[in-house]
Structure 1
Amino acid sequence: MLKGIIFDVDETLVYYEGYDHRGWYENWVMPALRKHSIELDYGTYKKTVTGELPRSYIERFGINHVEFWRIVDKVNLEYRKRMAELGRIKPFPDVDALGELRKMGLKLAAVSNASQDCTEFVLNLFDLRKYFDVVYGKDYSNLDGVKPNPYLVEKALRALSLKPEGALMVGDSAHDVLAGHRAGMRVANVTRLGKVDGADYYVKDLWELVELVKKLR
């Protein structure tokens, strides 16, 4: 029986108008890195984010990799605050469905590859934090534990005392599908931004997810 759901956050619950990953890195992150005498091109950075290279790869540039990611995440939080001021962070119109899932007695978690501070910021921005029993952003003690690694998902399962077969992973990306499956869970792909291969279920929005959950229960 389905007892809980683990949600991705960015592009699943909220989105960023006009967001461009390369533009964000070059205009926001690179200037901050240069203050610490770090030169890192976008291509190499992207490989560390996608998992093609480990996050510790940064150490060959002469900086502790945990400190490097703390710099990046601090900039990311500043960026999100600025985008919020400009009204460019938006909740998807169907996020009210989270309340319906809570009424059904389900345990809910939010798991993001962004930092804990960044994740909590966007959830609090739209009063979404109240729906979740636990929220986990990236863990500085295991920086390679971000999705598609199942580490954060498994951490949420343990916190909610859920078995993988009794929980559903919900997200928009291939990383969400892989992380959920590697944790032994079924995965629902929210297809607003396109369909991802390999998911167990496909829903167009969170209200359709509510209907899916009713069938699964």
Structure 2
Amino acid sequence: MKLTEISAILFDKDGTLFDYSASWSGWVCHILNDLSKGNKTHANAMAAAIMFDTDTRQFDPSSPVIAGTIDDAAELLGVHLPQITHSALVSYLAETSARAVMVPPVPLVPLLSHFRDQGLLLGVVTNDGEMPARAHLEHAGILNFFTHVLGYDSGFTPKPDPDMLLAYARLAGIAPETVVMVGDSTHDLVAGRAAGMRTIGVLTGLATHSDLAPYADTVVPDIGHLPDILSGS
């Protein structure tokens, strides 16, 4: 890819800016224990619903929660929590997830500073909620690098629909074909392709190289490899 042809980099959040398993496993264990009030049988039933293994503290790669929204997670967990309304469960998940400790795969400030110094615009489009997304970015000290942060609840259709990505391009005042979409899931890359953007897959989520390759211009281990890819080296 030629840097001169690119005006912006659009990042997914979970599994891309932050390592998915390292960031989310502890939070999932916490909410399962909290919602089940310590009842292990109940916790395991909810874990099975979201395809999370409590012994290994890992999601099954096919779990719909990985690339889904908080609303999707609440739908699955809510079957086992009839005493809690769907809206209350969504609020609980949003509020607790905003406090989850995110673990970046590489130092983010120098990487994002490099891109900004190159004159590139930066944005985030995530199927997480906008409020927890902003909280995570703020806690990591990188919120100010992004011109726009869009979540599933920001008024646009979530990925794999391209609506959120096209909205970013409109808000930033740039052509979609000058944007690179970087993500760890097929949802990210399918949305990027549908929006007419370049696509780069990263392996800091749960998808494999073979999962991502059909939808990506290239696949790299993590976002730390982006400078080399974008410089053509």
Q: TM-score, normalised by structure 2?
A: 0.68
**Uncovered stretches (5+) of structure 2, i.e. residues with no partner:** 38-45, 52-62, 80-84
Amino acid at match of 2:183: G
2-side partners of 1:111 and 1:70: how far apart?
Answer: 24
For these two proteins, the number of residue pairs brought into alignment is 191
Deviation at 1:76, TM superposition (A): 3.3
The alpha-carbon distance between structure 1 residues 210 and 49, as it changes in their structure 2 partners (threshold 3 A), is closer
Amino acid at match of 1:201: T
The match for 1:91 is: 104
1:8–1:176 contact (8 Å) kept in structure 2: yes
Deviation at 1:97, TM superposition (A): 1.0
Answer with 156-165 or 21-30: which moved more. Answer: 21-30
Deviations 1:11-65 (A, max 9, x none): 111235373497566445677xxxxxxxx996489658867xx96xx6xx9xxxx
Answer with 94-103 or 124-133: which moved more. Answer: 94-103
The match for 1:37 is: none
Q: TM-score, normalised by structure 1?
A: 0.73
The alpha-carbon distance between structure 1 residues 49 and 203, as it changes in their structure 2 partners (threshold 3 A), is closer
The match for 2:219 is: 202
- Is 1:68 the counterpart of 2:86 in the alignment? yes
**Uncovered stretches (5+) of structure 1, i.e. residues with no partner:** 32-39, 62-66
- Is 1:19 the counterpart of 2:24 in the alignment? yes
The alpha-carbon distance between structure 1 residues 19 and 141, as it changes in their structure 2 partners (threshold 3 A), is closer
The alpha-carbon distance between structure 1 residues 6 and 72, as it changes in their structure 2 partners (threshold 3 A), is same
Deviation at 1:90, TM superposition (A): 1.6
2-side partners of 1:104 and 1:154: how far apart?
Answer: 23
Give identity over the alignment, percent: 25
- Is 1:119 the counterpart of 2:137 in the alignment? no
Amino acid at match of 1:205: D
The alpha-carbon distance between structure 1 residues 202 and 80, as it changes in their structure 2 partners (threshold 3 A), is same
CA RMSD of aligned residues (A): 3.3
The alpha-carbon distance between structure 1 residues 27 and 184, as it changes in their structure 2 partners (threshold 3 A), is farther
Deviation at 1:160, TM superposition (A): 0.9
Amino acid at match of 1:134: H
1-side partners of 2:111 and 2:49: how far apart?
Answer: 38
Deviation at 1:102, TM superposition (A): 0.5
- Is 1:9 the counterpart of 2:25 in the alignment? no
The 3-state SS of whatever aligns with 1:90 is: coil
